[in-house]
């Protein structure tokens, strides 16, 4: 499994959509949202990170277990950490990482100004005005920890404004 990570607005989903490969792209948030809609009655993905942590953790665990059984080559579109009202919490706790065979961890990011503007220009979402620089910094700490735990290499790809093709080419080059 290849794991693609990033702060909201980094453009990881956009980059993944442009790849040409035989990997199946699976979005962790989509699978969690299905569960949380059914079990906890939420309506959209911006309500997810505001659910009590124990509810998020339950949905996160169910998805992790389903992923462990998923056949074929998978790119997982997910988060290093989730900014919740109670603090940052890890997207990939070690108890889940140990269930998967991780090939590489690819962190997509951009400058704080670019991330801020992308969030402000997305009318479809209810984005938080969180501390983007701090979230990005926290994520790099989590990324290093995930890499050390799994033994999989960590890669940072910048997806700057107007440079989507460059980011896609860098990601594409990492696929076998
Ligand atoms: P998810 O859907 O993965 O997160 P998200 O916050 O919705 O992230 P986005 O998909 O919006 O950001 P993105 O970086 O993919 O950016 P995009 O390509 O859209 O997850 C949803 C929720 O699920 C999370 O909030 C969390 O609660 C939960 N979750 C997920 N994984 C979890 C886990 N492991 N544990 C616990 N909970 C988990 O691009 C953004 C914008 O930028 C777009 O408008 C795009 O057009 C633009 N853009 C992109 N690239 C460029 C570029 N090069 N130049 C100019 N514009 C660009």
The answer to whether residue 49 is domain-embedded is no
The answer to whether residue 84 is domain-embedded is yes
Ligand 1: centre distance to CA 14 (Å)? 8
Closest to 159 (Cα-Cα) out of 105, 117, 118, 111? 111
Closest atom of ligand 1 to 29 CA is 23
Please name the residue whose Cα sits nearest to atom 10 of ligand 1: 13
Tens of pLDDT, residue by residue over 6-62, are: 998 999 999 999 999 999 999 999 999 999 999 999 999 889 989 999 999 999 999
Domain that holds residue 105: 2-28+72-174
Ligand 1: centre distance to CA 59 (Å)? 18
Tens of pLDDT, residue by residue over 59-73, are: 999 999 999 999 999
Closest to 29 (Cα-Cα) out of 72, 94, 82? 82
- 108 beta partners: 6, 157
Task: Output 49 or 93, whichever has higher pLDDT.
Answer: 93
Average pLDDT (136-149) is 98
The answer to whether residue 168 is domain-embedded is yes
The answer to whether residue 88 is domain-embedded is yes
The pLDDT assigned to 21 comes to 93
The answer to whether residue 156 is domain-embedded is yes
Helical spans, DSSP H, in 25-84 = 28-40, 53-68
Residue among 36, 49, 57, 79 whose CB has most ligand 1 atoms within 8 A, to mutate: 79
Please name the residue whose Cα sits nearest to atom 16 of ligand 1: 11
Ligand 1: centre distance to CA 75 (Å)? 15
The answer to whether residue 60 is domain-embedded is no
Check which CATH number belongs to the domain holding 153 and give it. Answer: 3.40.50.300
Tens of pLDDT, residue by residue over 102-130, are: 999 999 999 999 999 988 887 777 776 67
Residue 158: C-alpha distances to residues 53, 68, 175 (Å): 30, 29, 17
The pLDDT assigned to 92 comes to 97
Number of domains in the chain: 1
Task: Judge whether residue 152 has pLDDT over 90.
Answer: yes
Ligand 1: centre distance to CA 77 (Å)? 9
Residue 27 near residue 13 (C-beta atoms within 8 A): yes
């Amino acid at each position: 499994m290849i794991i693609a990570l990033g702060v909201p607005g980094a453009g990881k989903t956009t980059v993944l959509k442009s790849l040409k490969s035989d990997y199946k792209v699976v979005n962790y948030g989509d699978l969690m949202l299905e569960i949380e809609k059914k079990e906890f009655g939420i309506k959209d993905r911006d309500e997810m990170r505001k659910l009590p942590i124990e509810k998020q953790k339950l949905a996160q665990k169910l998805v992790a277990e389903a992923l462990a059984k998923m056949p074929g080559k998978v790119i997982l579109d997910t988060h290093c950490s989730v900014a919740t009202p109670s603090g940052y919490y890890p997207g990939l706790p070690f108890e889940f990482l140990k269930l998967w065979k991780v090939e590489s961890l690819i962190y997509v990011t951009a400058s704080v100004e670019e991330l801020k503007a992308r969030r402000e220009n997305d009318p479809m979402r209810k984005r938080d005005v969180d501390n983007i620089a701090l979230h990005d910094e926290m994520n790099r700490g989590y990324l290093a920890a995930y890499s050390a735990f799994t033994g999989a290499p960590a890669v940072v790809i910048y997806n700057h404004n107007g440079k989507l093709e460059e980011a896609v080419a860098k990601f594409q080059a990492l696929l076998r």
